[in-house]
Amino acid sequence: MRRVVFASGKGGTGKTTFTAITARLAAEDGPLVLADCDVEAANLPIALRATVTGSEPFAGGSKAVIDADACRGCGACQPVCRFEAIAADEDFWRTRAFVIDPWACEGCGACVPACPYDAITMEQSRAGEVHTAETVIGPMAFGQLVAGEDLSGKLVTEVRTRADAIGVEHGIDRMWIDGPPGVGCPAIAALTGTDLVMAVTEPTLSGEHDLMRLVTLARRFDLPVAVVLNKADLSASGARRIRERMAAEGLDLVAEVPFDAELAALPERLARGEEFAFPDTPGMDGVRATAAWLAERMGAGS
């Protein structure tokens, strides 16, 4: 399996647009598997009209729960909790029970033996879901993290595992991955075991800064990085700086893509299921150049 991950170090650079459209162009040469590793805001399933074919829960950590019927309201559990997650019920004078704030509970389990009435148990929480789906291009895996959960790196790993399984099941040996923003645990999980990082950046100081953080991360894993400069015409000085930095770092600058309203609208049109030909615009030329560059490195697929 050859895997390319589209990443940006930050959100809003057009990463999902490049993933979706280059995947669509690559699918003309052979099958590929898709994985959306942005488990906090998975947009690739929307852009490629994913139809979910299977879902499995993704388990989070354990949380303590008080059985209100068994609780006698003695309060013995409250001082045991270092995280101040236990308090008397707001309606204590009626219920005579204590309650646990699931957002504050760290799942240490210290309160369980502190209860003389065995009213506290540990329950496993549901932190999200892993989905498999069919899209207009090919099969996909993606995840959805429950708001407030912090296990996005582990969920990304689950998505990657599921995408690998899809590849084996369908005999497909290419994978397009839409990575998460940032350079934290989710990004590490998305980059691990890939063959190429396709960094999508823009000609701003923050774009350059976030790009270099991504490059530093990729180098820790010995991963080659290629760069697409999106919205390249928005700042001549910014674009020049990115060019110079890429040359100094020995990185491939695959394409410079000018801002293109038609290109920006393509994911929306794909999501609506419109039949259309890709426009002949400067922006689309840049995406085609990126797809052609990728075709040389990723092959035609089988």
* CA-to-CA dists, residue 135 to 52, 139, 190, 295, 298, angstroms: 9, 6, 21, 21, 20
Q: Judged by CB under 6 A, which stretch of 5-13, 66-74, 145-153, 234-242 contacts ligand SF4?
A: 66-74
| Minimum distance, C-beta of residue 112 to ligand SF4, in the bound complex (Å) | 7
**99 lies in the binding site for ligand SF4 (CB under 6 A):** no
Of residues 151 and 253, the one with the C-beta less far from ligand SF4: 151
**98 lies in the binding site for ligand SF4 (CB under 6 A):** yes
* CA-to-CA dists, residue 275 to 174, 217, 266, angstroms: 25, 39, 11
Binding mask 115-134 for ligand SF4 (x = CB under 6 A): x-x-xx--------------
Whole-angstrom distance, CA of residue 17 vs CA of residue 228: 12
CB 159 within 8 A of CB 37: yes
Residues in CB range of 51: below 8 A, 6 or more apart? 133, 134, 135
Give the binding-site size for ligand SF4 (rule: CB under 6 A): 28
Structure token digits, residue 218: 């990729």
- Which of 110, 136, 289, 292 touches ligand SF4 by CB under 6 A? 110
Whole-angstrom distance, CA of residue 239 vs CA of residue 27: 31
**26 lies in the binding site for ligand SF4 (CB under 6 A):** no
**108 lies in the binding site for ligand SF4 (CB under 6 A):** yes
**242 lies in the binding site for ligand SF4 (CB under 6 A):** no
Would you tell me the crossing angle of helices 15-26 and 282-298 to the nearest 10 degrees? Answer: 60
Binding mask 70-89 for ligand SF4 (x = CB under 6 A): -xxxxxxx--xx-x-xx---
- Which of 64, 196, 254, 263 touches ligand SF4 by CB under 6 A? 64
**258 lies in the binding site for ligand SF4 (CB under 6 A):** no
First to last CA, the chain: 10
- With b for 16 or more beta-carbon neighbours within 10 A and e for fewer, the 104-142 pattern comes to ebebeeebeeebeeebbeeeebebbbbbbbebebbbbbb
| Minimum distance, C-beta of residue 43 to ligand SF4, in the bound complex (Å) | 34
Whole-angstrom distance, CA of residue 284 vs CA of residue 273: 19
- Which of 111, 130, 175, 270 touches ligand SF4 by CB under 6 A? 111
Q: Judged by CB under 6 A, which stretch of 3-11, 27-35, 113-121, 248-256 contacts ligand SF4?
A: 113-121
| Minimum distance, C-beta of residue 106 to ligand SF4, in the bound complex (Å) | 4
Residue 201 sits at φ, ψ, to 5 deg, of -130, 180
Of residues 56 and 91, the one with the C-beta less far from ligand SF4: 91
Residues in CB range of 277: below 8 A, 6 or more apart? none
Of residues 29 and 106, the one with the C-beta less far from ligand SF4: 106
**105 lies in the binding site for ligand SF4 (CB under 6 A):** yes
Contacts with ligand SF4 by CB under 6 A lie at: 64, 66, 71-77, 80-81, 83, 85-86, 98, 100, 105-111, 114-115, 117, 119-120
